[in-house]
Amino acid sequence: MAQANQQTETSDSGGIDLSKSSTRELLAGVTFSLPYLVIAGLFLFGPLLLALYMSLHDWNALEPGQSEFIGFENYQILLSDPEFWNALWNTVYFVVLTVPPIVIGSLLLALGVNRDVKGQWFLRTVFFSPYVLTVAVVGLLWADIFNASGLIPYYVGGGNWLNSHSLAMPALAIATIWWQLAFNFIILLAARQNVSDRLYEAAKLDGASTWRMMRDITIPQMQNPLIFVVIVTFVGSFQVFGQPFIMTDGGPSFSTTTIVLYLYDTAFTGRDFGYAAAVGYVLFMILIAVSATSYYFLSGDRE
Amino acid sequence: MSESTNDPASVTFDSVRKVYLDDFVAVNGFDAEIEDGEFITVVGPSGSGKSTLLRMIAGLEEISDGDIRIGDDSIKGVEPQDRGIAMVFQNYALYPHMTVRKNMSYGLKLTTDLPDDEIERRVSETAEMMGIEDQLDDKPANLSGGQQQRVATGRAIVRDPKIFLMDEPLSNLDAKLKVHMRTELQRLQEELGTTTIYVTHDQHEALTMSDRIIVLDGGELQQFAPPDTVYNEPANRFVADFIGSPAMNFFDVELGGTTLVGDGFEYDVPPAIIDTILGNEAKSGLELGIRPEDITYDAAGDNTISAVVDVLEVAGSDNFVYLDIEGTECRVRVPGDVKPTVGDRTEIGFDPDDMHLFDVRTGENLLAESKGKRAARKADTEGAEEAA
């Protein structure tokens, strides 16, 4: 009996040890995640909740405590606000002009540079270099190029593109494509280099043409990086701000006013922070919808 | 397969040479004739050119010089898919995003005008043969290593090729599965009768699986012969050293009269061997080779060599004793119940018919040819004694 008791005690103490070790593991996990949780809490979830809170108020920036709760009134106004709709359509136009060329262009560049061409290192550097520039530099550089006396009007015509109602947005799009291609190019190049050469060899023996290899091996094997690139490019283009802010200031006659630029103007020029927060929230919802849709369509099982 | 459209084909290598862009010669002046239906293994150390050889047949590498013929036709300028070959890669190279079914049918869809139901029938038949019929709708990532290997082999079989090319197809499997798949591949090859060229760095695979072995080193053919010939009558020192585990023992020796003199030992050799040595004009600069299993531990008689036990390696049914003969290591295979103590002094001996003698300058095995005859003679004598 005494022996049996002893055994029970031993197994009990074993149990305590186990729970101690799992507590320690949990503690270690939380401790290591803490820096991220704090930063994300402070700079991501905090502002997200604060913006939602602001969007439901007639926000008083000087004395936030005096802000009046108005429910969804900001959202109701927004739906019938022609300036908001103009900004939304401008943004969609910009997205249409930039996302396909950036994604397809970076894919083609990545596939091209991946081939055994001479000067591969040089080409990679050349294609990546625009990405290291800030939006201010890119904006000023391209503003000069599209200027009435700039390179593009000189060779292509059209006068000062940035003053043209129809050409200003394409001008912003061109500058953006040139600037943003690099980031996607590097990601897709890395993705392509991760595809095993053996798969191409197997496909070659199976009789696949270059086009079939692209369709049946390259694209499916690069599916996840491609989804990432598409979503990141969508998000980036929907959030465009720096280029119109620096190159056109939303003009001429609001033809390049994008959602974020409109949000900025509403908040910092019009001092209507509650309304601007509502605009921000609508953009947030659009981005979630676009990302989810892209993911849904691109990650579809090809079998 | 039951309705074979492609008959097995012979493969002829005619002074084949492969030089890479950086002037590295991977294969140099390679000549060989592989008969139809043969199972050939190509064996050699890393960088010996064995995979390059296979990839040239497949059409994945250009032939720099010389020619390769499948049947009577040169493969130069023929697209890989039109050469009548199918290949199993070392890491299988299964298309990860395709199901097993699609992996297996992909080549047939691209290269034949077979109707879908015929392709489906062939895939099912092959899958059944390979025991993967339940995995047809799975993707490679959901399969075990052994199953992936079967899919890769099935993908090759379903093409009904004239020649199978296999590039170390079992090297990613664990030891037990490797042995199992080895016999399975042999059985398949016998059933299908398809000419098979199998590249491996595993000499054990080479010895157990093939009709003939090609031994390569530095891009050059060292020996092309059946497994027992390669093992018992190695053409040169490289083959002798590369084939066999543990490796053959080597001792630097010189011929003094009727005796081979090495560091710390003398060994009397029969007149027939002396004649062969003298005929080759290589009295000095000789290397004596003897396999661990051909040495008698604790030998009696006067033609023995004195040695000290250095290490004992217990390996179950057999043990390996590492002996020291005046600074030269000598490995001896002994039965599992022989367990000498380190430091023991012993005498070892061997039958002169089992020894090999290499010319140090050329590496050539001076006794290779005569050894075959002697082995036959020995077998005859033993047979006669038994009969008596």
Average pLDDT, chain B: 89
Q: Does B53 touch chain A (CB under 8 A)?
A: no
Read off the pLDDT of each residue in A187-215 and give the average, rounded to a whole number: 93
Largest CA distance in chain A: 102
Instruction: Please report residues of B whose CB lies closer than 8 A to that of A196.
Output: 91, 93
Q: What is the pLDDT of residue A115?
A: 77
Contact B304, B349 (CB under 8 A): yes
Q: Does B264 touch chain A (CB under 8 A)?
A: no
Q: What is the pLDDT of residue A13?
A: 44
pLDDT at residue B157 tops 80: yes
Long-range contacts at B108-113 (CB < 8 A, ≥ 24 apart): B108/B158, B108/B159, B110/A206, B110/A207, B110/A208, B110/A212, B110/B81, B111/A206, B111/A207, B111/B81, B111/B82, B111/B159
Q: Does B91 touch chain A (CB under 8 A)?
A: yes
- Nearest-by-Cβ selection for A199 from B95, B99, B110: B95
- Nearest-by-Cβ selection for A206 from B97, B99, B110: B110
Interface test with B, best of A195, A204, A206 (most B CBs within 10 A): A206
- Nearest-by-Cβ selection for B80 from A205, A212, A303: A205
Any residues with CB less than 8 A from the CB of A290 and at least 6 apart, and which? A231, A234, A235, A238
Reference B354, options B371, B370, B369, B366; nearest CA is B371
Average pLDDT, chain A: 88
Q: What is the pLDDT of residue A300?
A: 66
Read off the pLDDT of each residue in B244-264 and give the average, rounded to a whole number: 90
ipTM, two decimals, is: 0.83
Q: How far is Cα B319 from Cα B323, in angstroms, rounded to an integer?
A: 13
Q: How far is Cα B329 from Cα B120, in angstroms, rounded to an integer?
A: 60
Q: What is the pLDDT of residue B275?
A: 83
SS3 of residue B320 by DSSP: strand
SS3 of residue B48 by DSSP: coil
Read off the pLDDT of each residue in A124-132 and give the average, rounded to a whole number: 87
| CATH of span B238-387 | 2.40.50.140
Q: Chains A, B: CB contacts under 8 A, how many?
A: 59
Contact B374, B232 (CB under 8 A): no
Q: What is the pLDDT of residue A230?
A: 93
CB A216 to CB B87 under 8 A? no
Contact A56, A281 (CB under 8 A): no
Q: Does B16 touch chain A (CB under 8 A)?
A: no
CA distance B277 to chain A (A): 50
Phi and psi dihedrals of B238, rounded to 5? -60, -50
Instruction: Please report residues of A whose CB lies closer than 8 A to that of B80.
Output: 204-205, 207
DSSP secondary structure string for all residues of B197-221? EEEES-HHHHHHH-SEEEEEETTEE
Any residues with CB less than 8 A from the CB of A262 and at least 6 apart, and which? A83, A84, A87, A250, A279
DSSP state of B236: B
Please give the order of strands across the beta sheet that includes B345-350. B295-297, B345-350, B305-315, B318-325, B328-335
Read off the pLDDT of each residue in A19-43 and give the average, rounded to a whole number: 90
CA distance A206 to chain B (A): 4
CB A196 to CB B99 under 8 A? no
Please list the residue range(s) of chain B that carry CATH number 2.40.50.140.
238-387
Q: Does A202 touch chain B (CB under 8 A)?
A: yes
Read off the pLDDT of each residue in B53-67 and give the average, rounded to a whole number: 94
* Dihedral, CA of residue B207, residue B209, residue B213 and residue B218, to nearest 10: -80
Read off the pLDDT of each residue in A91-114 and give the average, rounded to a whole number: 93
Please give the order of strands across the beta sheet that includes B212-217. B85-88, B163-167, B195-200, B39-43, B212-217, B220-225
> Which neighbouring-strand residues pair with B289?
B250, B356
pLDDT at residue A301 tops 80: no
Which band of pLDDT confidence, cut at 50, 70 and 90, is reported for residue A12?
A: very low
For B82-109, what is the HEC assignment? Answer: HCCEEEECCCCCCCCCCCHHHHHHHHHH
Phi and psi dihedrals of B246, rounded to 5? -65, 160
Which band of pLDDT confidence, cut at 50, 70 and 90, is reported for residue A118?
A: confident
Q: Does B58 touch chain A (CB under 8 A)?
A: yes
Q: Does B114 touch chain A (CB under 8 A)?
A: no
Q: What is the pLDDT of residue A142?
A: 95
pLDDT at residue A6 tops 60: no
Q: What is the pLDDT of residue B175?
A: 85
Read off the pLDDT of each residue in A33-42 and give the average, rounded to a whole number: 92
pLDDT at residue B382 tops 70: no
Q: Does B102 touch chain A (CB under 8 A)?
A: yes
Please list the residue range(s) of chain B that carry CATH number 3.40.50.300.
11-237
| CATH of span B11-237 | 3.40.50.300
Residue of chain A minimizing CA distance to B104: A206
Q: Which residues numbered 210-229 in A keep a CB inside 8 Å of some CB on B?
A: 212, 216-217, 220-221, 223
CB B93 to CB A212 under 8 A? no
Which band of pLDDT confidence, cut at 50, 70 and 90, is reported for residue A295?
A: confident
Q: What is the pLDDT of residue B380?
A: 66
CA distance B99 to chain A (A): 7
Q: How far is Cα B122 from Cα B136, in angstroms, rounded to an integer?
A: 13
Contact B344, B308 (CB under 8 A): yes
Q: Does B21 touch chain A (CB under 8 A)?
A: no
Read off the pLDDT of each residue in B12-22 and give the average, rounded to a whole number: 91
Instruction: Please report residues of A whose CB lies closer than 8 A to that of B107.
Output: 205-207
**Of the ranges A110-119, A289-298, B5-14, which is most confident?**
A289-298
CA distance B169 to chain A (A): 13
Q: What is the pLDDT of residue A302?
A: 42
CA distance A201 to chain B (A): 7
Contact B265, B306 (CB under 8 A): yes
Angle between helices A168-193 and A120-128 (to 10 degrees): 140
Q: Does A198 touch chain B (CB under 8 A)?
A: yes
Instruction: Please report residues of B whose CB lies closer than 8 A to that of A226.
Output: none
CA distance B276 to chain A (A): 50
% residues pLDDT > 90 (chain B) = 66
DSSP state of B257: T
For chain A, what is the HEC assignment? Answer: CHHHHHHHHHHHHHHHHHHHHHHHHHHHHHHHHHHHHHHHHHHHHHHHHHHHHHHCEECCCCCHHHCEECCCHHHHHHHCCHHHHHHHHHHHHHHHHHHHHHHHHHHHHHHHHHCCCCCHHHHHHHHHHHHHCCHHHHHHHHHHHHCCCCHHHHHHCCCCHHHCCCCHHHHHHHHHHHHHHHHHHHHHHHHHHCCCHHHHHHHHHCCCCHHHHHHHHHHHHCHHHHHHHHHHHHHHHHCCCHHHHHHCCCCCCCCCCCHHHHHHHHHHHCCCHHHHHHHHHHHHHHHHHHHHHHHHHHCCCCC
Cα radius of gyration (chain B) = 25
pLDDT in tens, A276-285: 999 999 999 9
CB A303 to CB B99 under 8 A? yes
Phi and psi dihedrals of B95, rounded to 5? -75, 115
Q: What is the pLDDT of residue A135?
A: 94
Residue B102 sits at the vertex; the CA angle it makes with B179 and B98, to the nearest 5 degrees, is: 85
Q: What is the pLDDT of residue A247?
A: 94
Instruction: Please report residues of B whose CB lies closer than 8 A to that of A207.
Output: 79-81, 107, 110-111
Residue B86 sits at the vertex; the CA angle it makes with B81 and B92, to the nearest 5 degrees, is: 120
pLDDT in tens, B100-153: 999 999 999 999 999 999 999 999 999 998 889 999 999 999 999 889 999 999
- Nearest-by-Cβ selection for A217 from B91, B95, B107: B95
CB A201 to CB B79 under 8 A? no
Residue of chain A minimizing CA distance to B90: A198
Q: How far is Cα A260 from Cα A247, in angstroms, rounded to an integer?
A: 15
pLDDT in tens, A143-157: 999 988 889 988 988
Instruction: Please report residues of A whose CB lies closer than 8 A to that of B110.
Output: 206-208, 212
pLDDT at residue A117 tops 90: no
Reference B323, options B310, B312, B333, B336; nearest CA is B310
Q: Does B79 touch chain A (CB under 8 A)?
A: yes
Record the tokens describing residue B323, joined without a space.
Answer: 């002996």
Give how far Cα B140 sits from Cα of A162, B86, B91, B122, B135, Å.
54, 19, 12, 20, 9
Which band of pLDDT confidence, cut at 50, 70 and 90, is reported for residue B386?
A: low
CB B93 to CB A201 under 8 A? yes
pLDDT at residue B213 tops 50: yes
